Amino acid sequence: MTIKNICCIGAGYVGGPTMAVIAQKCPHIKVTVVDVNEHRINAWNSANVEDLPIYEPGLAEVVQEARGRNLFFSTNVDQAIDEAEMIFISVNTPTKTYGAGKGMAADLKYIELCARQIAKVAKSDKIVVEKSTLPVRTASAIKEILTNTGNGVRYQILSNPEFLAEGTAVADLFHPDRVLIGGDTTSDGQKAVQALVEIYANWVPTEKILTTNLWSSELSKLTANAFLAQRVSSINALSELCEKTGADVNEVAQAIGLDSRIGPKFLKASVGFGGSCFQKDILNLVYIAKSYGLEEVASYWEQVIIMNDHQKRRFAKNIISTLYNTVASKKIAFLGWAFKKDTNDTRESAAIYVADDLLNEQAAIAVYDPKVKVQQMYADLDYLESRTAVDNQKLLTAYPNPYDACQGAHAIAVLTEWDEFKSYDWQKIYEGMLKPAFVFDGRNVLDQKALEQIGFVYKAIGK
């Protein structure tokens, strides 16, 4: 089966970049990304690349090349579904905030809405591809909805989880470690799998395209994120021990990372992991384990989240205790609000929770982030409901440059590892701060010796 027309429902962090790259690499395939959010679609269609809703290095160039040729962004969901032979579902699957599984299970209401809309609109056979991160065996629920409409349309469900790292998403799409495709083991199921394999084979070596059954593919995504998050929490747990014993967590990480059985990746101590995937997927894994009565398995993975939350709160407590146990009315400058560098994504960013703790102590927070807008910062804090929106706007101020943010500050907290932080005129920053001038490096990105020579009191995670 040769695919000539693709539809992707969802124009977010996964759907937008993934479809842009598929369109660029497969100019013979029409790719239409649809979303009910008109503002987001307008942003994708903007002639000004600075207006794209997602910042990823290299993404604007890919979009500019393919958009209007074979890449289209639209709010006409029904038309795109009707025309497509293959439909990707790439909508949000947040953690439930209500009902059974509250706080752990994935909320699948948007997935179900997509399935019902496809079932209502489709007049010809479709391949439906799960691109959103989903609990294992979700495909069976999607297929049940689709095949019980009575309109005679046949569907094949595939699982094709994304393994993108924000900040390097385009590079990851160009040169993936692997592409995972799960499908039914039936003859029709394998034909559908092969149709998707042929799309990726336009630029991905076939030896990197892995095919499995549906359930293995769905579970592999959750497992991959759980393992990566586990490494982050493990090194962060050791960072606290390093601070008590006089060891240097960076030296410890280097020593163990040289062991070929361990490797060096994801061993950088920090104020904690954030982003849309790690916490959500681990909580989902915990819920699945509990639903099968696997309490010990659930407890094991839950500890990864507990350690991560502890690291964020511990960082805030360290700032408070160092500043003589009070930060009331003191200006604390935040460098970075995004959860990692080279993205404007703030979901579950450590900065939100560190700010929340400091604002509860009536600190005045001054933020500089190269890509995150102040409206997003306020929205992140308002979501926690710790204070009124008016109080959040009164206590937190965003600045257009780091020098203004740090002027008159008692301390600086580095919350995102933006490369530009290393090139600042730190002498100038020091001269504008109150003394003693503290730097709390939550990402271990700055040069400790250079800052201490200037006069800063430098404190980093794990040192």
State the Cα–Cα distance between residues 81 and 123, nearest whole angstrom: 9
Catalytic position from the list 221, 268, 330, 340: 221
Is position 420 annotated as part of the catalytic site?
no
Q: How far is CA 361 from the centre of its chain?
A: 29
Catalytic position from the list 8, 26, 114, 277: 277
All residues at 6 or more sequence positions from 183 whose CB lies less than 8 Å from its CB, including other chains: 156, 157, 158, 159, 189, 190, 192, 193, 211, 213, 214
Closest of 6, 344, 287 to residue 166, by C-alpha: 344
State the Cα–Cα distance between residues 450 and 452, nearest whole angstrom: 6
State the Cα–Cα distance between residues 306 and 76, nearest whole angstrom: 43
Give the tokens for residue 149: 């409409």
Compute how many other C-beta atoms are within 10 angstroms of the C-beta atom of residue 388: 10
Catalytic position from the list 162, 166, 218, 243: 162
Give the tokens for residue 57: 């290095």
At 413, which helix (H) or strand (E)?
strand 411-414
Give the tokens for residue 349: 């960013």
Beta strand extents in 263-363 (DSSP E only)? 331-335
State the Cα–Cα distance between residues 257 and 251, nearest whole angstrom: 10
Beta strand extents in 280-336 (DSSP E only)? 331-335
Q: Which residues of 324-347 are buried (b: 16+ CB within 10 A; e: fewer)?
A: eeebeebbbbbbbbbbbbbbbbbb
Amino acid identity of residue 204, one-letter, is V
Distances 342 to 150, 419, 450 between C-alpha atoms, Å: 47, 9, 25
- 150 conformational bin, left if phi > 0, alpha if psi -120 to 50, beta if neither: left
Give the tokens for residue 346: 């703030």
Is position 394 annotated as part of the catalytic site?
no
Give the tokens for residue 76: 């006409």
Burial class from Cβ neighbours inside 10 Å (0-12, 13-18, 19+) for residue 281 reads buried
Is position 221 annotated as part of the catalytic site?
yes
All residues at 6 or more sequence positions from 398 whose CB lies less than 8 Å from its CB, including other chains: 366, 367, 368, 369, 373, 374, 377
Kindly list the catalytic residues.
Answer: 162, 221, 277
